[in-house]
Chain A
């Protein structure tokens, strides 16, 4: 039995991730990228990677470095790699985005930015996967939540490998007719493994532990959870093994994507059943804002699943993929991220500041670090704006989409400001803020007790 400690750099991951979310939302509200530009335009690629790598992947890495040790009750292996992960991924992303600017003609430097990004990003993600996978390895046999994270890491490696090939094809450091012919059909695969595999699988794994923990619901392994796992793994295998084979023989991976989609659908429905079970069997009658706000994210996941089915049956998936990706990234993953940050940041801040004196001095409650009544409307605005934005994309109304994106920007900035206030203990009454033996936590870094 090993205790968990605070991850030193998790707050820095969160801070960089939120800043990049704000930049992405600002760009979208200014009309940069889809739908003002084409889906495959470099401007769209820039915004998509800003969101998928800058916001969602850095958020997930920061969260996993903190919670994988809690999930498996083992200390993080190779903690020295954590800061290099942040530096490599952030720098690699900057290079990648510069490469897209070169493609768009905005930048003309002659520096092979895409190739540089295509080296630093996979290196950074490989370091993250190494540290986390080795930690999971020491904890075998893995309980189900940790297995989801393990599969998420497999997908991280796969999506990074595909992305690396794309970056080097685009920059010209890699060539070959066979590869070039398959670049386009492999793009949906890259997106599906990234959003559905790496990000969704990991988010589901962490949520299986965190949600019951904060709702006081039973979290023993259930039959539905085992089937979420099995069907999810089948979807990932279809994407990571079947699809490359299909692409090697033919020129598209449509069948593999269809199989993966069907399996993913089963997994999502059963995951929904588990969420309902947690909610119904919770011991806390009144749930906090992070759980209520997560409801918006789960609604977005359900809506994205239905939208996916409709678009496939309608034959419009290729033209409307932008709306689907937007809903999945901002409604489901981003919404879950923002809502859980609203709990995780105050919780970790409380532990850091008040852990050393708890029991000896009166300490505020974790809820005292936030002002739920003030912040609830920001989450409502965020989710309403995401749903309106999705509708605007589907209806082909770019003007309305920009308004919706501006509303998500406003809500995200407000929530980010509240997280900074929580970290600064601003909402705690001044007289109770710093009992003897406590000190102000640093904004971007946790200092584990040196005792």
Chain B
């Protein structure tokens, strides 16, 4: 059985312009031929999409392609369900994001206060617990600090230019 080629969608320009690519992605999904997979290019690993498209019967396969960009191929699973919930997507362990244990809104704070508040809230969590932080801008100075302390994180740009950061406290991340 021959498969039609991937349907390619590059949402990096939309993200770069501060836009919200969800509509474009859903449009692309609606235009897929039966059995056709969607190849998505994004400037971050679009983890939230894995759930959304998983519920529609697509399995993600993600790889980093350099410069922080990601290529994700969403392949329709054989048993493409019709009205049947396929259950959780077959994502690897590293992709499992726990439900947030705490949520903070720092969108009205000047830099670097959002970073300070985020780190303080994170330090109050137990390892493995997740924090959601809303910050006014992409916190580019925060990322290296999260990496250095062994926390797992993902950042999602919002329509108003703010960012929603989900951080899972690392297990080996106690004390300097």
Contact = CB atoms under 8 A, between A and B. Distances in A.
Partners in one complex: yes
B108 A2 contact: no
A347 interface: yes
A2 B68 contact: yes
- B140, B142, B148 interface centre (most CB from chain A within 10 Å): B140
Contacts of A216: 108-110, 136
Contacts of A284: 110
B93 interface: no
B85 interface: no
Interface string A44-77: 0000000000000000000000000010011000
A3 B142 contact: yes
A429 B71 CA distance: 50
Contact of B115 (A70, A143, A358, A449): A358
Contact of B111 (A74, A283, A347, A360): A347
Contacts of B141: 3-5, 70, 351, 355
B105 interface: no
Given A4-B140, A70-B140, A359-B120, A283 B108 contact: yes
B: contact size bracket: 35 or more
A449 B67 CA distance: 21
B138 interface: yes
B118 interface: yes
Interface string B137-156: 11011111101100000010
B37 interface: no
A219 interface: yes
A218 interface: yes
Interface string A2-32: 1111000000000000000000000000000
A356 B112 contact: no
A451 B140 CA distance: 17
A358 to B, nearest CB: 5
A363 B108 contact: no
A213 interface: yes
Interface string B109-127: 1111101101111110000
A366 interface: yes
B71 to A, nearest CB: 15
A220 B18 contact: yes
A139 to B, nearest CB: 8
A5 B17 contact: no
B80 to A, nearest CB: 32
Interface string A345-378: 0010011000111111001011000000000000
A138 interface: yes
Contact of A1 (B18, B123, B143): B143
Nearest to B117: A359
A172 to B, nearest CB: 48
Contacts of B43: 1, 73
B112 A351 contact: yes
Interface string A126-148: 00000000000010010100000
B143 A214 contact: no
A447 interface: no
Given A1-B43, A1-B68, A213-B137, A360 B108 contact: no
Contact of A358 (B18, B110, B119, B143): B119
B44 A358 contact: no
B83 interface: no
A1 B44 contact: yes
A138 B13 CA distance: 13
B98 interface: no
Nearest to B139: A3
Nearest to A436: B176
B67 A74 contact: yes
B161 A219 contact: yes
Given A220-B18, A351-B112, A355-B141, A141 B147 contact: no
Nearest to B13: A141
A221 interface: yes
Given A143-B16, A213-B111, A356 B68 contact: no
8 contacts: A1-B140, A3-B145, A73-B43, A74-B67, A220-B18, A351-B141, A358-B112, A363-B116
Interface of B: 13, 16-18, 43-44, 67-68, 108-113, 115-116, 118-123, 136-138, 140-145, 147-148, 155, 160-161, 175-176
Given A5-B141, A5-B144, 5 more contacts: A218-B160, A218-B161, A355-B141, A358-B115, A437-B176
A-B pairs with lowest CB-CB distance, top 10? A359-B119, A3-B143, A3-B144, A4-B140, A437-B176, A359-B120, A359-B123, A2-B68, A358-B119, A1-B44
